[in-house]
Amino acid sequence: MQAQKGFTLIELMIVVAIIGILAAVAVPAYQNYTLKARFSEVVAAGSPYKLALEVCAQDGRCNAGGTFTAISVASGVPDAAAITAGIPGISSSTAASPFDPAGVTLAIAGGVATLTLVPRAVSGIVVGDTYVLTGTLQADGKITWARTGGCTTRAAGAIC
């Protein structure tokens, strides 16, 4: 009698089942990873705005009684009109990019600056994936930032 060689059908089915389970876990994780990579362009585009606010606060040009009430385009903080005028350091973008310069707003209320970036709906990113940075001016002139918005509340996990 000859010894059998090869795998039985049940062994092959077990291997296929294991590969299927691994794929079911890996594919959503990879999709969220690629979405984070695409959204990082929006996060990076917010940095010049943060920097402009921080420099303005450190110089004292923005502070009126410990608040951001003195902020204007003239004091160095860009707004939507200044963005379209081409302030250095402010990103421009293409239609394929998730960053939309027209979707940037800056709101000032007391000692709190709220910077909102609304992305373009491209490559799995939706308009609801807003990136909101809330900067609170401290007594020493520093700004502490808190991140909120739709990009932090996605079902598959935060993308910002």
Query: From start to end of 19-160, where are the E strands?
Result: 104-109, 112-117, 131-137, 143-148
- Give the count of alpha carbons within 13 A of 138, CB side only: 8
Predicted pLDDT at 73 = 53
Predicted pLDDT at 16 = 97
Q: What's the total number of domains in the chain?
A: 1
Of all residues in the chain, the percent with pLDDT exceeding 70 is 76
* Interatomic CA distance for residues 111 and 97, integer angstroms: 32
Integer angstrom CA distances of residue 156 from 26, 82, 111: 13, 36, 34
Contact criterion met (CB below 8 Å) for 36 and 159: yes
Answer whether residue 159 is part of any domain. no
Answer whether residue 2 is part of any domain. no
Answer whether residue 111 is part of any domain. yes
- The count of other CB atoms within 10 Å of the CB of residue 159 is 24
Predicted pLDDT at 99 = 77
Average pLDDT over residues 100-124: 81
Domain span at 24: 9-152
- The count of other CB atoms within 10 Å of the CB of residue 128 is 13
- The count of other CB atoms within 10 Å of the CB of residue 118 is 20
Answer whether residue 16 is part of any domain. yes
Predicted pLDDT at 61 = 66
Answer whether residue 4 is part of any domain. no
Answer whether residue 43 is part of any domain. yes
Answer whether residue 157 is part of any domain. no
Q: What is the CATH number of the domain that holds 83?
A: 3.30.700
